[in-house]
Amino acid sequence: MGIGAYRPDVIVDNDQICQWIDSSDEWIRQRTGIRTRHRAPADVSVVDMATGAAREAIEKAGLTGEDIGAIIVATVTHPYQTPSAAAAVAHQIGSTPAAAFDISAACAGYCYGIAQADSFVRSGLAKHVLVIGVEKLSDVIDNHERSISFLLGDGAGAAVVGPSETPGISPSVLGSNGEKWDAVAMTGSLLPMRDALRDARASGDAAELLDPERDLWPTLRQDGPTVFRWAVWEMAKTAQKALDAAGVTAEDLVAFAPHQANIRIIDEMVKQLKLPEHVTVGRDIADAGNTSAASIPLAVHRLLEENPELSGGLCLQIGFGAGLVYGAQVIRLP
């Protein structure tokens, strides 16, 4: 019913990234398609970004916060294990006592959230559901690491899902491949940090916590070739399954909004799906980078801003990432 976005004000270009890694603007553009990425300043939180995107989506849907019956936030970067980011957002937008919870499905999280929202509305559990994909990935990267750090950006995208006389969301195709669980992962759990702090307190010596050789804060890493091959060869099949589940073909689409992981992955999926020329492809990655759970709603938001004539048409969206997990569905654009 409505799409909203929040893009942080700080823009980091490739030349700035190359201060930290041995690379170049040309290499990054060639290999990923990224020119810039947005980064949130220290005083802007996951909840702040999610709330900003949520307010725009609700307004565009012609609703108020009081109309929202459930809030689903897809994120892997909310810094609190509990309580959820969704509960804080519910309070900020005036949706209390809406049901509120977070889900952790990395770059597929938004598609998982849309699938759940679809089920909530169909079952009558909630009339209007707010789905938010939000990440502050700058909190979990090592700027000097070059497998993934230069790809990542911050931001939030949101959608309001509500009742319709005809289906506006197709059956979703969801899945996982845990055999590749560590292909995109944190460098470790939080437990070693807890143990190191406890030991430092017991010994009265905090020097080891300041040792630059000891990396206590977990950050993201990826096995790039493994992820690239999996995404290129398997995700086009998943996207096709979503089209089949919707009972439509590529010819019926007006837009394609894949997870913004890498421009080469996006272009290869377009080829494998044999998308016709009239299908507008979301390539938000050039200016936003990879924003994980936020990337699909941000891409859809930009598609509609730049091509308002797509409104009401069918869009195929697919997310895939750490887990490895994936999700896809066809939606009718608001």
- Cα Rg of the chain, angstroms: 20
Q: How far is CA 287 from CA 14, 53, 145, 204, 221, in A?
A: 11, 18, 21, 47, 22
Active-site residue set: 107, 259, 290
